[in-house]
Structure 1
Amino acid sequence: MPDPDLRGAVAAARRIAARAALRADEQDRDDGFPAEDLADLAEAGLLAAPVPAEEGGAGLGQEPRAADLAEVLRLVGSGSLALGRLYEGHVNALQLVARFAAPVERRALCAEARAGHLFGVWNTEPAEGGLVLGADGRLTGAKTFASGAGHVTRALVTARPPGRTEPLMLVVALEPGTRADLAEWRAQGMRASATGTVDLTGLSPLAQLGGPDDYHRQPHFSGGAWRFAAVQLGGLEAVFEAWRGHLARTGRGDDPHQLARLGEGAIALEGARLFVTRAAALVAEDALPADRIVAFVNLTRLAVERAGLEVLGLAQRSVGLQSFLHGHPLERLARDLATYLRQPAPDRALTGAAATILSAEGPVADLWHPEAC
């Protein structure tokens, strides 16, 4: 597989996003999946790009500068939020491999990414019990809300060993089309993300990454949320463009009320972009105290969510009933974005960030500047 340099990765993401946007409506069904788009990612080297340079990849997201990864995630999300969700999970898994895997396992797993395997991170568990690693080295249990179920071939999962409450990070190998149950994924949007339950009972892990509870180590656990915010930003841009295109096609741009709505939407969109850019840089630089990095990323999560909901409301009010009709460019985009914006624990993210701000010494203007700490 070709391994693009970082500038090549951004250009490849732009091309793939354009093709993904043309296919997305066809994939919008309960059994949909962006298989062709993922094949494009592999062929362009984007599945290999997050692999560290010393392991044969492009180091996308590993370098101190996060702008390239933020741009790739935004572009992929603008073409298809389902594809963006899957690619963000792949990137997340490879970053955890790079950070926590022992050298031998790191080399082997990076080689598999370069060979075209799709990685994912699955940590949500059914209410009746979580995934357990038995004394015999085999897993018992399942993961739920696992995106890419039946398609991810290298899954990073959390599991508890006997007598321990802190989970371990494990990588398991899966055969395509096996162990996945998508019956309950009847969502309004993100239908092509193949999100479901995966039964991992009987499998033995390929590798363990790090030690107990390293998965939750801060700031990277909560700080990594900037990546899905970047994908959401791409979806938000796609909604804005569909809305703008509708006004241009229908000749309704002369109406001052329509212009006012579009202007308000542009403010929200650009505010979200600035938050994502800053959050990505703060995580990559890793120069602030962990609690401050987490606080800013949590604010970013909520700023992007607020911007997305605002733009959705303005666009649908502006376009009217047509925006809810199948076949209109805005209809599926709005469903996908509204669904993907629903991320866990938004209230805790907000109050946790506010508590960090309240307890910090010095002026608020200095909180996010390492030189002031």
Structure 2
Amino acid sequence: MTPETLLHDDLLDGIRERAAGYDRDNAFFTEDLAELRAAGYLTALVPVEHGGLGWSIADAVRAQMRLAGAAPATALAVNMHLVWTGVAKVLRDRGDDTLDFLSREAGQGEVFGFGISEAGNDLMLFGSRTTAEPQADGGYRYSGRKIFTSLSPAWTRLGTMGLDSTSADAPKIVYGFIDRDDPDVRILDDWDTMGMRASQSRTTVLDGAFAASDRIVRRLDPGPNADPLVFGIFASFELLLAAVYAGIGARALDLAVASAHRRTSMKYDGRLLSQDPDIRWRIADAAIAQDAIEPQLLQVARDLDELVDHGPLWFAKLVGVKVRATETAKHVVDQAVRASGGSTYFAGSELGRLYRDVLAGVFHPSDDESAHSTVANAWLGPLDG
């Protein structure tokens, strides 16, 4: 089943119709998630032998662009589950079965949350403010606060990490998975944001939450690390995230074109604004920018699927496509709003909602500063000293 067949127009129309209400009410996308689960979308990257669709990363990128065009917040939240199933695929494609348990459980209906981000942690995967306390049985107990935990009302498994500073070989960054029914997990009802409201990416508090030994998947040295798990997280996260924002840009451009064919100008004797040179320039400028994103995004995704060896340039390519997609989406939405007039300033406007949603792109890792540092290191080498 292709992305276009699974995410067919009737399904997306219903998701698009609900998006404004979820945003207005600051409500989770419960109905969307139920329909996507029923369609098998949460198993898109799960191998067929584990009950999934066996899609490629490029397939998932195309699908997420499509879903984001209907409901950005729904797509962003679903992304976090797809990221983990994507990591499992990236590892499996390279002969590493570490996350096969995750693929099997996702195929059985478990929903995975992404409990990595922490306030004030600009090291991201290379450091942690959360403590990971080793247990006698080989498991770990995690204590800390994870922010922007999308799918908060629905995830059943949470992939997380913390710093082990007490073992003989410490320090180590420890990656593991915990269960939602753990009594030492608290989810705060603190999601009241400008945009991406339906994602309900609430703060998750871990007060000694337990990951069993068979759910501890890595113990890595802090700092930059080319371990396949780190690469898998980085690649899946950046590509699928870029897909969401590329989808927002594509939808904004469509809305601007529709507006130009609907609105008229007194200055031009009642002619449609599609004939106004200024409006035409703005929409053309947005189209030129938007047109460059999808080919690059899909090519990098195909390279990941096909095990292309970009060596030390892989991380530069991944951060580059993320930053370019999010910044381009902001530009396209801005041009679309300017071309579509003051009605977009009203709360019920879809373009107005996209304007708020697209701003979230600047906060997702890698941010503009770290991306430039990554690219500079790849091309110029690290700073001296």
The alpha-carbon deviation at position 43 of structure 1 amounts to: 0.2
Q: Name the CA shift for 1:243/1:68 in 2 (closer, same or farther; >3 Å).
A: same
Q: Is the alpha carbon distance of 1:139 and 1:343 closer, same or farther for their aligned partners in structure 2, counting shifts above 3 Å?
A: closer
- Aligned residue for 1:288, secondary structure, equals coil
Query: Does the 8 A contact of 1:134 with 1:162 survive in 2?
Result: no
Which residue of the partner structure matches residue 369 of structure 1?
Answer: none
For residues 83 and 349 of structure 2, the distance between their equivalents in structure 1, rounded to whole angstroms, comes to 33
How far has the Cα of 1:213 moved from its partner? 2.8
Alignment counterpart, residue 69 of structure 2, candidates 78, 84, 92: 78
Structure 2 match to 1:242: 255
Answer yes or no: is 1:182 the counterpart of 2:189. yes
1:13-51 deviation per Cα after TM superposition (whole angstroms, max 9, x unaligned): 244333211110000046411111111111001112211
Structure 1 vs Structure 2: percent identity of aligned residues?
Answer: 22
How far does residue 334 in structure 1 lie from its aligned partner after superposition? Answer: 1.5
2:126 corresponds to which residue? none
2:138 corresponds to 1:135: no
Q: How many residues align?
A: 347
Q: 2: CA distance between counterparts of 1:126 and 1:315?
A: 33
1:140/1:352 Cα in 2 relative to 1: closer, same or farther (>3 Å)? closer
Contact 1:138 / 1:203 at 8 angstroms: preserved in 2? yes
Q: Secondary structure at the match of 2:259?
A: helix
The structure-2 alpha-carbon separation of the partners of 1:315 and 1:102, relative to structure 1 and needing over 3 Å to count, comes to: closer
C-alpha RMSD over aligned residues:
2.7
The equivalent of 2:354 in structure 1 is 333
User: 1:358 & 1:216 partners in 2: Cα distance?
Assistant: 18
In structure 2, the CA distance between the partners of 1:340 and 1:126, relative to structure 1 (3 Å rule), is closer
Aligned to 2:149: 146
Residues 315-364 of structure 1, C-alpha deviations (whole Å, 9 max, x = no match): 122123221112222111211112234323312212422442356xxxxx
Indicate the SS of the match to 2:49.
helix
Q: Which residue of 1 aligns with 2:372?
A: 350
In the TM superposition, 1:102-181 aligns within 5 A as: 106-107=100-101, 109-127=102-120, 129-135=129-135, 137-163=140-166, 164-175=170-181, 179-181=186-188
Alignment partner, residue 229 of structure 1:
242
Conserved 8 A contact 2:26-2:192: no
Structure 1 residue matching 2:113: 3-state secondary structure: strand
1:1-373 matches, cutoff 5 A = 5=1, 7=2, 9-15=3-9, 16-29=11-24, 31-61=26-56, 66-98=57-89, 99=91, 106-107=100-101, 109-127=102-120, 129-135=129-135, 137-163=140-166, 164-175=170-181, 179-183=186-190, 185-206=191-212, 207-213=214-220, 217=227, 219-224=231-236, 225-250=238-263, 251-344=272-365, 345-358=367-380
1:164-195 CA-to-partner distances (Å, cap 9, x unmatched) read 33222211111499721132x33211111111
**What is the letter of the counterpart of residue 26 of structure 1?**
G
Residue 106 of structure 1, CA deviation: 2.7
Contact 2:158 2:180 in 1 (8 A): yes
Match of 1:367? none
C-alpha separation between the residues in 1 aligned to 2:207 and 2:199?
Answer: 23
The residue matched to 1:132 in structure 2 has which SS? strand
Provide closer, same or farther for how the CA distance between residues 102 and 356 of structure 1 changes in structure 2, counting only shifts above 3 A: closer
* SS class of match (1:167): strand
Q: 1:235 to 1:156 in 2, by over 3 A?
A: same
Q: TM-score, normalised by structure 2?
A: 0.81
Contact 2:249 2:330 in 1 (8 A): no
1:34/1:83 contact within 8 Å kept: yes
Q: Which amino acid in structure 2 is aligned with residue 179 of structure 1?
A: R
* Counterpart code for 2:69: S
Segments of structure 1 that go 5 or more residues without pairing to the other structure are 360-373
Distance 1:104 1:188, change over 3 A: closer
Tell me if structure 1 keeps the 8 A contact 2:130–2:142. no
Task: Give distance in 2, aligned partners of 1:216 and 1:82.
Answer: 31
Residue 123 of structure 1: how far off its partner (Å): 0.7
Instruction: Give the structure with the larger strand fraction.
Output: 2
Other structure's SS at 1:148 match: coil
Q: TM-score, normalised by structure 1?
A: 0.84
Look up the SS of the partner of 1:203 in the other structure: strand
Contact persistence 2:87–2:233 (CA under 8 A) = no
Runs of 5+ unmatched residues, structure 2: 122-128, 264-271
> Hey, what's the Cα distance between the residues in 2 that align with 1:253 and 1:125?
46
1:244 alignment partner AA = V
SS of residue in 2 equivalent to 1:326: coil
Contact 1:268–1:307 at 8 Å: present in 2 too? yes
